[in-house]
Amino acid sequence: MFEGFYKVRFQLGEAVGRSVMYVRDGKMLGGNSAFAHIGTYEKTGDDISTEIKTVRHNPDPNYRAMAGTDDATLLAKGWPDGELYRFKGELKELPGVPFQSVMTPITEDEIPIVGSVGAGGILNGLYSIHIRLLDGVDGGLTGVMLLNNGRILGGDAHFYYLGTYTSENGRWKGQILNQEHTSAMGENPIFGGHEVGIGFAGTCDAEGAVLEATALAGKRSLRLTAVLKLMRRA
């Protein structure tokens, strides 16, 4: 079955990137530290046809668009290879430049859903998330987060997030487990190499949410804040 949560390694020409992706009910929602990936798929037997658009959520110019433009559209065909899925195709904006990717499943059931969403709770959807460390500690993360009826799935080029939350009346709280899917030791020494547990609370509205949290990374206890922006309802 194609539906599920995946880490993705993709290559456009000679350039290589990574992301996370959630697949369900004909929709593909994911992204990484700078871009959200929003698309659809059709499955015929073992063959999969996809169309995925990129949307920048991080204005940092150090994160350059592989296609040379922030708004790009991928057309790709895929097939299963054991538990993996492989894809080949091209971008509409770069015809003739080969694209290929491998999607590897991530187990979702490590944190059971214990949350619930009531009236005035945070909306289901794909959000960008920008995390900033507090107390004079330099560092943070940017990525995407999918919220769906109390379940959190998300990540970026190196990490994936699994969690659960409750929300109602413009507030929400929950817990997240941040783990590596690709080594980040050279990219993010604070979170790299650690399984990071995060407890959070904050406020939410129809546009997004904010939170304050405490993260335990190895023996370090870190305070952080984050801003979430809704990019696509789910």
User: Per-domain residue ranges for the chain?
Assistant: 4-105, 125-233
The rounded radius of gyration (Å) of the Cα atoms in the chain is: 17
Mean of per-residue pLDDT scores for the chain: 94
pLDDT band at 163 (very low <50, low <70, confident <90, very high): very high
Residue 79 phi/psi, 5-degree rounding, is: -155, 155
Structure tokens at 70: 């922030």
pLDDT band at 219 (very low <50, low <70, confident <90, very high): confident
Q: Note the pLDDT tens digit of each residue in 31-90.
A: 999 999 999 999 999 999 999 999 999 999 999 999 899 999 999 999 999 999 999 999
Closest C-alpha among 68, 74, 37, 27 to residue 155:
37
User: Does the pLDDT value for residue 113 go beyond 70?
Assistant: no
pLDDT band at 116 (very low <50, low <70, confident <90, very high): confident
DSSP state of 149: T
Mean of pLDDT values over 111-116: 70
pLDDT band at 188 (very low <50, low <70, confident <90, very high): confident
Mean of pLDDT values over 196-214: 97
CATH superfamily placement of domain 4-105 = T3SS negative regulator GrlR (2.40.128.380)
pTM for this prediction: 0.94
Q: How far apart are CA 196 and CA 218, in angstroms?
A: 7
Mean of pLDDT values over 80-108: 96
Mean of pLDDT values over 160-165: 95
The answer to whether residues 136 and 150 touch, using CB atoms and an 8 Å cutoff, is: no
pLDDT band at 91 (very low <50, low <70, confident <90, very high): very high
The number of beta carbons lying within 10 Å of the beta carbon of residue 44 is 7
The answer to whether residues 137 and 190 touch, using CB atoms and an 8 Å cutoff, is: yes
Closest C-alpha among 116, 196, 121, 183 to residue 151:
116
Class of domain 125-233: mainly beta
Supply the pLDDT for residue 98.
Answer: 98
User: Does the pLDDT value for residue 185 go beyond 80?
Assistant: no
Q: How far apart are CA 102 and CA 79, in angstroms?
A: 10
Provide the CA 126 distance to its chain's centre, in angstroms: 8
Structure tokens at 40: 């659809």
User: Does the pLDDT value for residue 7 go beyond 80?
Assistant: yes
Domains 4-105 and 125-233 alike in fold = yes
Supply the pLDDT for residue 230.
Answer: 98
Percent of the chain with pLDDT over 70: 97
Supply the pLDDT for residue 110.
Answer: 61
